[in-house]
A = this chain, B = another copy of it.
């Protein structure tokens, strides 16, 4: 009764055997023809292709995976899907994967280690070939263990638990440069709004802030620092609270694009003029930063380059087997000077 092969409308289950039967040949011949193997006549190849097309044959990737023990899946594991960083990574990965015949599995963990684990499990189950991961701050041991069986590259963030090379940004350098720039304009009360220091990107950039201050001989003042993870909203509230201070900071450096976004919003709401009342250095460089007020001075992340570097590392690892050596690299950000910073006014 429930025979999938009768004339039910959908030609769902056409297999290599059906094609073979249709042609009166063996199914291995069909396989050879379709896969362009040797020891098969051109004529047969043509006939098989023809028949396959007519019958609507579609190779079953699952069966192939079963035989070869490897899929064509590459996992992209990220905290969220709206960030500049994600966009760059996804864009580069998508293009490269497509060209190489891989499929890209998108996994969003929202900074939840449990969700992250479940994604990694699913990728292992699917015998994913490789993984690009922006890890959560609290990667679980089990996650790290599972990841060992695959080619992995850490992207943007780095977790020491995960035994895989990383492609990151030298955030410390970026933020230190921002502080130096502000100092050169005469600023001394420089605030910092950044990510929590439980993640590599957080402590890295915070360290840069401290280094920057040290170099200009200004003591670190915890009262001028705000760290938080809810990004947009936190940027708003942190900036608002800094504006309450007396004396106010004369400049502020942000540690993420979303925090910058929130901070700028807060300034606007409070009627604070940038850069007349407050100099601002953002972090990251979404295309719209240049449209904010007179254009936002910012620590520009070379997202495209980072993404390309990560993908190339991954593809190399995949091609070279699990032992392919691969070094972690950290790219240098650079300061883009626009109009949101100005000399300190007496």
CB distance from A148 to the nearest CB of B (A): 8
- Measured CA separation A95–B98 after assembly (Å): 24
Q: Restricting to A265-285, which residues have a CB under 8 Å from any CB of B?
A: 265, 268
Known contacts A127-B62, A292-B291: does B91 contact A81 (CB below 8 Å)?
yes
- Measured CA separation A106–B77 after assembly (Å): 12
Among A35-43, A53-61, A131-139, A247-255, the stretch in contact with B: A53-61
Number of residues in A with C-beta < 8 Å to the partner? 57
Residues on the B chain within 8 Å of A11, using CB: 149
Residues on the B chain within 8 Å of A127, using CB: 60-62
- Measured CA separation A329–B98 after assembly (Å): 32
The answer to whether A105 touches B104 (Cβ under 8 A) is yes
Residues on the B chain within 8 Å of A261, using CB: 287-288, 291
The answer to whether B71 touches A81 (Cβ under 8 A) is no
A157 on the B face (CB < 8 A): no
Known contacts A69-B13, A91-B82: does B105 contact A61 (CB below 8 Å)?
no
CB distance from A145 to the nearest CB of B (A): 8
**A76: which of B80, B98, B106, B125 is its contact (CB, 8 Å)?**
B106
A207 on the B face (CB < 8 A): no
Give the copy number: 2
Q: Restricting to A109-157, which residues have a CB under 8 Å from any CB of B?
A: 115, 118-119, 121-122, 124-127, 146, 148-149
A103 on the B face (CB < 8 A): yes
Interface 0/1 of A240-258, CB less than 8 Å to B: 0000000000000000000
A66 on the B face (CB < 8 A): yes
List the B residue with the shortest CB-CB distance to A63: B66
The answer to whether B76 touches A71 (Cβ under 8 A) is no
List the B residue with the shortest CB-CB distance to A295: B268
A108 on the B face (CB < 8 A): yes
The answer to whether B58 touches A62 (Cβ under 8 A) is no
Residues on the B chain within 8 Å of A118, using CB: 98
- Measured CA separation A34–B9 after assembly (Å): 36
CB distance from A264 to the nearest CB of B (A): 6
A10 on the B face (CB < 8 A): yes
**A232: which of B59, B90, B122, B287 is its contact (CB, 8 Å)?**
B287
Give 26 A-B contacts (CB < 8 Å), ordered by A residue.
A10-B148, A10-B149, A13-B69, A58-B125, A60-B125, A61-B125, A61-B127, A66-B66, A72-B122, A80-B91, A82-B91, A90-B108, A94-B107, A94-B108, A95-B108, A98-B108, A103-B107, A103-B122, A105-B105, A106-B106, A261-B287, A261-B288, A265-B290, A265-B291, A288-B288, A291-B291
What residues of chain A have their CB less than 8 Å away from a CB belonging to chain B? 4, 10-13, 58-63, 65-66, 69, 71-73, 76, 80-82, 87, 90-91, 94-95, 98, 103-108, 115, 118-119, 121-122, 124-127, 146, 148-149, 232, 261, 264-265, 268, 286-288, 290-292, 322
Known: A12-B69, A61-B62. 13 other contacts (CB 8 A): A4-B69, A13-B69, A62-B62, A62-B66, A63-B66, A73-B105, A80-B91, A81-B94, A104-B106, A232-B287, A268-B291, A288-B291, A292-B292
